[in-house]
Amino acid sequence: MTQTPSETAGVLPSGRIHNPSVRGFASDNYSGIHPEVLAALAGANDGHQVAYGDDEYTARLQEVLEGHFGPGIEAFPVFNGTGANVLSLQSLLPRWGAVICATTAHINVDENGAPERIGGIKLLAVPTPNGKLTPELIDQEAWGWGDEHRAQPLAVSITQTTEVGTCYTPEEVRALADHVHAKGMKLHMDGARLANAAAHLEVPLRAFTRDAGVDILSLGGTKNGLLYGEIVVSLNPEASAGLKYLRKMNMQLASKMRFLSAQFIALLEGDLWLRSASHANAMASRLRAAVEDIDGVRLTQDTESNGVFAVLPAGVADRLRKSFRFYDWNEATGEVRWMCSFDTTAEDVDDFAAAVREELAACLR
């Protein structure tokens, strides 16, 4: 039978041009949309709704978020995590303000200078052994108030879970918040994987956010099964200012905001957020257990969420990547990162672990 150009190019009648059987461990951004979220998008698609956030879905989202974090909060849906972080930090600071963060923080490493260039914010980065700041580490940069030659450290940003997959306990966040507030600073949390932390700690979302003294939160959705979207949640509105205007200035105001909000309602109104995050965490734990006894694999961080970090012998990662996509974390040391998603299966994990075992066995012969 003669094939059509679309068939030879691999385009199915549905319009799909990728092979859905290809799996990887590069990022929880690689997964598709959770079916329940996709259904919510379809349900929100009929008819007309007022634009720019004055729609019924965004009003309902505010109620859902108050159910998680308590009354008196303010929520601002945005397109992405970088936008959420920049907006959050801008709202906390005057023009001369600086933010203390871990050197591994997403705002420091993976946002292409957006906090500095778009937000006009000086970052004061502190090395940490496990991605987590402590009061003592914060104090390395918490100084110089009143010195006109130094950017003023007026906020601290922490990430939950951290970029290396570790979690702050509620007690650790409270200790940071108390320390930061005592110095007249404010506390921001980058919660791109907030649900994974709650699943690991087995506590409500507010236990290590509002109840622990966090002033403003970047609440993630994209890494937990949404098409796109994050939310800036002002947990202490007195600590932040101008978010309504900053969101527009920073090109993060969605005209058809109902589609952002409908996704988060599907995620947060019931337990989908927890089910998806718990599954991703469980798959990471399964992967860790499957590879930790393989000769040549050295695990480098505790697995407290949906990521596994390991050091492999030279050349092994590149050979494995011919079949499974994943990223180097530190090319100098051979450290790699393996991420699991809401749709990672036990078979995916077992197949990948078997490939690691086979490659290491061949490497060490």
pLDDT tens for each residue of 235-275: 999 999 999 999 999 999 999 999 999 999 999 999 999 99
* 189-215 residue pLDDT tens: 999 999 999 999 999 999 999 999 999
pLDDT at residue 10 above 80?
A: no
* pLDDT computed for residue 11 by the predictor: 57
- Give the confidence band of 363 by pLDDT, cuts at 50, 70, 90: confident
Percent of the chain with pLDDT over 90: 92
What pLDDT is stored for residue 362 in this prediction? 87
* % of the chain surpassing 70 pLDDT: 96
- Picking from 324, 304, 286, 43, the residue whose alpha carbon sits closest to that of residue 164 is 304
The average confidence (pLDDT) of the chain is 95
Q: Is the pLDDT of residue 18 over 50?
A: yes
Is there a contact between 154 and 97 (Cβ–Cβ < 8 Å)? yes
> Of 308, 353, 310, 356, nearest to 333 (Cα)?
310
pLDDT at 16: 84
pTM for this prediction: 0.94
CA 119, CA 223: separation in Å to the nearest integer? 24
Instruction: Map out the domains of the chain with their CATH numbers.
Output: 5-30+272-363 (3.90.1150.10), 35-268 (3.40.640.10)
| Rg (the chain; Cα; Å) | 22
Q: What is the pLDDT of residues 147-185, one digit of tens each?
A: 999 999 999 999 999 999 999 999 999 999 999 999 999
Q: What are phi and psi of 309, to 5 degrees?
A: -115, 135
Average pLDDT rounded to a whole number, residues 107-136 = 96
Q: Is the pLDDT of residue 101 over 50?
A: yes
d(CA 266, CA 221): 11
Q: Under 8 Å CB-to-CB from 271, ≥6 apart: which residues?
A: none
Report which of 185, 237, 234 is spatially closest to residue 78, judged by C-alpha positions: 234
